[in-house]
Amino acid sequence: MLQLPVEDMEMAPGHAVEWTVSAAGTAGHVDSGDSDPAPLASYNQKDHLSVARSLRALDIGYASYIGGSFEIRGSVDPGALEAALLHLVRRHEVLRCEFRGFEEGTDEPVLEVVPPQDVKLERVDAGRFDSPAEAHAYVQRFLQGTDTLRGPWIVMGAMVREESTTVYFACDHLLTDGVSTPVAVHDVAAAYEAYAQGREPVLPEAESFLDHAGAERKRGAAMGPEDALLDHWKGFVARNDGQLFPRFPLDLGIEPGVAHRAVNRTDTLLPAGRLDALEARCRATGGRTSAAVLAALGVSLRREGGPEVYRALVPVNTRGRGPGEHGMGWFVNTLPVEFPVADGMGFADVMAGAQGALDAMRAYVDAPFVRVFELLTRDQNGPQVWPFAVSFFSYLDFRRTPGAHSHVARRARKYVSTSHSNGIFFWFHRNHAGLHLNSVFVDTPQAHRTKAALVGTLVRTLDDVARTGRS
């Protein structure tokens, strides 16, 4: 799987079909019984809704979705495909959630869940598109059809041809995270193959995101200002000039707090063979590839004028093993890392610092970031829009996600789309072909120059380490 800007999606012409989710009955509480309290949105969901509401109040049409696509070879079975998409929505509770009232100013979104038996799909024939340009433009518009505050929160479609079909979907970020995309691709593809062969799909148990979010909210509510889970954050803030957020250290040509239109780029950093060599050097020194990539980013920022200590926020997958690996939702917490990247340090020492920082933060994964913000800033409104360009690092190995063995054959793709930003975000990802970087950043001339220079330095740094073990 490769994470790309949706603008880089390849789309052959064909006949387009659209599906949206609707409810035959009435949304309500989860199926566990009327005596249970209504489920609460997760901390991340509540904050995402707050961001959308804040920006919309400023007449900024903020939109953020995570989508995916894959190919079905040969002539498609339309009934089997529709059944597979319906199976996906019924299987994952979060895709059947409806969020009410938050756009009107309530403090807590009203979260309702449509029972699986009441979900149906509305199909629309969108017509034929006769050129790649027309097909691409249509799909790009279609995937932008989610709306954080009003819904729909998921859209699904297919471009049907005699010899192949491209299946694509988008979920507002409110519903899903990055790992949810390979989960969805695998679930739909596997269910389609089963239905096309006249049998019911058999998939591993998937964790309920609502249960996960409820447990997280309980943990957060039980935390107080002196909770030991805050110790890591308190130390970080003390060393970061009293700031919860680490600043991105290079010039992006922006005003603090101003939302700019965002652009999206993907760069290949290392081919598979060179990345394997880098991984072998990491293992020889007791480190992981993710730590080497993090260390290389810190070193590269330093060479471009950044500080001698690298600080960043890191999204951490909270799924765990078993059913969590197959769940769809926003299973992410955010934690800080810091380590030295001073001039003259050997790369092995920098990487050891990066590995130590990643290992140290893990002990505090049960402290939800939004709750940490409330406790350390006494601001009950949550972080909402980040106050300035924030240093951010994400790493994902798609080879370890469900269905990875079929990603190449299915031409699996992931798309992250954010309309506005006030900084730059780095999503490093590994697949069968190597190491790649998907960047979303403000669309200013300076940001384009800064990003291009940094990526060039990063490629040279990673290549040097892969070849020689030194940067």
pLDDT at 31: 47
**How far is the C-alpha of 176 from the C-alpha of 153, rounded, in Å?**
10
pLDDT at 402: 96
H runs (alpha helix) in 58-179: 78-91, 132-143
- Under 8 Å between Cβ of 307 and 358: no
Alpha-carbon distance values, 281 to 286, 292, 393, 433 (Å): 9, 9, 22, 19
Instruction: Fill in the amino acid letter for 392.
Output: F
- Under 8 Å between Cβ of 193 and 312: no
Mean pLDDT computed over every residue of the chain: 92
| Whether residue 33 has pLDDT greater than 90 | no
pLDDT at 2: 97
* Residue labelled with tokens 């938050």: 102
Distance between alpha carbon 150 and the CA centroid of its chain, in Å?
21
Bigger pLDDT: 28 vs 351: 351
> What DSSP state is assigned to residue 404?
G
Q: Which of 27-36, 71-80, 242-251 is predicted with the least confidence, judged by mean pLDDT? A: 27-36
- Under 8 Å between Cβ of 78 and 62: no
Residue 432, φ and ψ in degrees, nearest 5? -60, -25
Reported as a single tens digit per residue, the pLDDT across 277-335 is 999 998 888 889 999 999 999 999 999 999 999 999 999 999 988 999 999 999 999 99
pLDDT at 40: 87
**How far is the C-alpha of 19 from the C-alpha of 24, rounded, in Å?**
15
Residue 379 pLDDT class (50, 70, 90 cuts): low
**Which of 2, 5, 11, 8 has the alpha carbon at shortest distance from 139?**
11
Distance between alpha carbon 73 and the CA centroid of its chain, in Å?
28
pLDDT at 59: 82
H runs (alpha helix) in 151-271: 180-196, 209-222, 231-239
pLDDT at 135: 98
Residue 30 pLDDT class (50, 70, 90 cuts): very low
pLDDT at 36: 63
Residue 177 pLDDT class (50, 70, 90 cuts): very high
Reported as a single tens digit per residue, the pLDDT across 99-129 is 886 656 667 888 899 999 999 999 999 999 9
| Whether residue 264 has pLDDT greater than 90 | yes
- Under 8 Å between Cβ of 183 and 317: no
pLDDT at 28: 54
Token readout for 248 is: 């991105």
Strand partners, 127: 16
- Under 8 Å between Cβ of 63 and 173: no
**Which of 387, 215, 148, 317 has the alpha carbon at shortest distance from 379?**
387
Reported as a single tens digit per residue, the pLDDT across 415-433 is 999 998 889 999 999 999 9
> 257: how many CB neighbours lie within 10 A of its CB?
10
Find out if CATH 3.90.480.20 is the number for domain 2-210.
no
pLDDT at 142: 97
234 Cβ contact partners less than 8 Å away, ≥ 6 residues apart: 376
Reported as a single tens digit per residue, the pLDDT across 37-74 is 778 899 999 999 988 888 888 888 888 999 999 999 99
Supply the CATH classification number for the domain 226-468. Answer: 3.30.559.30
**How far is the C-alpha of 449 from the C-alpha of 353, rounded, in Å?**
29
Distance between alpha carbon 362 and the CA centroid of its chain, in Å?
19
Token readout for 374 is: 């409330």
H runs (alpha helix) in 5-77: 43-57
| Whether residue 355 has pLDDT greater than 70 | yes
Distance between alpha carbon 227 and the CA centroid of its chain, in Å?
29
Residues of the chain above pLDDT 90, percent: 82
- Residue 321: CA count within 13 A, CB half-sphere: 0
Residue 259 pLDDT class (50, 70, 90 cuts): confident
> 197: how many CB neighbours lie within 10 A of its CB?
9
pLDDT at 32: 43
Handedness of CA 221, 219, 99, 181 (dihedral sign): positive
Q: Which sequence spans correspond to the domains of the chain?
A: 2-210, 226-468
**How far is the C-alpha of 153 from the C-alpha of 122, rounded, in Å?**
14
**How far is the C-alpha of 462 from the C-alpha of 18, rounded, in Å?**
43
**Which of 355, 353, 345 has the alpha carbon at shortest distance from 291?**
355
pLDDT at 60: 84
Three-state SS sequence of 293-308: HHHHHHHHHHHCCCCC
